[in-house]
């Protein structure tokens, strides 16, 4: 069975004190240790080591960075390298979140490089894809998402792509309170798996975890996660409330 993942994306939220409070609550969770489920907490970069320390005893909880740069080291003020993440024991990184694409001009060619460097340093990329409202209204979402996968991921070998997690996040559902219906999510996730299968074969397509993101909450997670091709979620707003995120973790199948 594919790994089921509840991923939290804190984005640029929380003071140090708020981050500590949230991490203490996650650190106190005692009933989340089954073999195929994990939680991944993407915290702002200044809190990565704190999160690592607070969650060290949680066998099924991992810490993620929200971004990394395409270079290893050097004169790139403000950036974070995959090598730095590896050296800190950070095992996941979000790549290509729609906010990075929109506000920081990240395109698929650059994201392909980020994917490569993350894999080189054994930091698992959670690659985000998803269409805007205009693309959905024109009914072009399937072609658009397939193109994002091709441009950013399909240069990878089969041995490498199985190390990538994909997060489908329709932009019109992010932070809007408007969730894709579970049928819409399933339809796109099936399409993503089919696209992987055409490129790599079914053995590969069957093992890649594909998460849904966009207004996942405690009260809709069970319904969305129960879809056969949905392997968990990438959660923004609701991940800032510990109880709500724990409910979402417990909604994994
Ligand atoms: P949201 O954000 O859950 O607040 O919609 C999801 C995301 O951007 O990853």
Residue range 60-88, pLDDT digits in tens: 999 999 999 999 999 999 999 999 999 99
**Position 33 confidence tier, pLDDT thresholds 50, 70, 90:** confident
- Kindly report the protein residue whose alpha carbon is nearest to atom 2 of ligand 1: 236
Q: Is 153 exposed, middle or buried (0-12, 13-18, 19+ CB in 10 A)?
A: buried
Predicted pLDDT of residue 174? 87
Query: What per-residue confidence (pLDDT) applies to 43?
Result: 98
Residue 107 CA to ligand 1 center (angstroms) comes to: 20
Tokens coding 228: 């056969």
Q: How confident is residue 246, by pLDDT bands cut at 50, 70 and 90?
A: very high
- Domain spans of the chain? 4-250
Residue 1 has pLDDT above 90, yes or no: no
76/65 Cα distance (integer angstroms): 17
Q: What is the pLDDT of residues 148-170, one digit of tens each?
A: 999 999 999 999 999 999 999 99
Taking residues 88-97, report their average pLDDT: 98
Which atom of ligand 1 has the smallest separation from the CA of 7?
9
Pocket of ligand 1 (CB under 6 A): 9, 169, 174-175, 213-216, 234-238
Question: pTM to 2 decimals?
Answer: 0.97
Question: Which pLDDT belongs to residue 180?
Answer: 86
Region 47-60: mean pLDDT is 97
Mutate to test the pocket of ligand 1, among 13, 98, 165, 169 (most ligand atoms within 8 A of CB): 169
pLDDT digits (tens, 9 = 90+) for 97-141: 999 999 999 999 999 999 999 999 999 999 999 999 999 999 999
- Would you state the pLDDT for residue 170? 96
Q: Which of 174, 180, 216 to mutate to test the pocket of ligand 1 (most atoms within 8 A of CB)?
A: 174
d(CA 11, CA 238): 12
Q: What's the rounded Cα separation, in Å, for the pair 101 and 234?
A: 17
Number of other CB atoms surrounding residue 30 within 10 Å? 6
Q: Find out whether 40 and 64 touch, Cβ atoms under 8 Å.
A: yes
- Which numeric CATH code is attached to 4-250? 3.20.20.70
Residues 166-225 have pLDDT tens digits of 999 999 998 887 788 999 999 999 999 999 999 999 999 999 999 999 999 999 999 999
| Nearest atom of ligand 1 to the alpha carbon of 99 | 8
Residues forming the active site? 97, 169
Other Cβ atoms closer than 10 A to 200: 18
Kindly report the length of the chain.
253
Residue nearest to atom 3 of ligand 1 (CA): 236
């Amino acid at each position: 069975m594919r790994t089921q993942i509840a991923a939290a994306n804190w984005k640029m939220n929380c003071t140090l004190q708020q981050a500590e409070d949230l991490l203490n609550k996650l650190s106190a969770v005692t009933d989340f240790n089954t073999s195929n489920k994990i939680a991944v907490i993407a915290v702002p970069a200044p809190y990565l080591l704190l999160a690592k320390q607070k969650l060290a005893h949680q066998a099924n909880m991992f810490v993620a960075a929200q971004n990394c740069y395409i270079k290893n080291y050097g004169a790139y003020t403000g950036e974070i390298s995959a090598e730095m993440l590896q050296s800190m024991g950070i095992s996941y990184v979000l790549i290509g979140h729609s906010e990075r694409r929109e506000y920081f001009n990240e395109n698929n060619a650059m994201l392909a490089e980020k994917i490569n460097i993350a894999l080189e340093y054994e930091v698992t990329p959670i690659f985000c894809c998803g269409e805007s409202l205009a693309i959905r209204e024109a009914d072009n979402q399937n072609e658009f998402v397939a193109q994002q996968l091709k441009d950013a991921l399909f240069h990878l070998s089969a041995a490498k792509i199985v190390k990538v997690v994909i997060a489908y996040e329709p932009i019109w559902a992010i932070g809007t309170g408007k969730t894709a219906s579970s049928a819409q999510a399933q339809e796109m996730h099936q399409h993503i798996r089919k696209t992987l299968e055409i490129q790599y074969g079914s053995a590969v397509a069957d093992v890649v975890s594909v998460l849904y993101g966009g207004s996942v909450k405690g009260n809709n997670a069970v319904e969305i996660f129960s879809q056969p091709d949905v392997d968990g979620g990438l959660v923004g707003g609701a991940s800032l409330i510990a109880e709500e995120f724990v409910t979402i973790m417990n909604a994994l199948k």
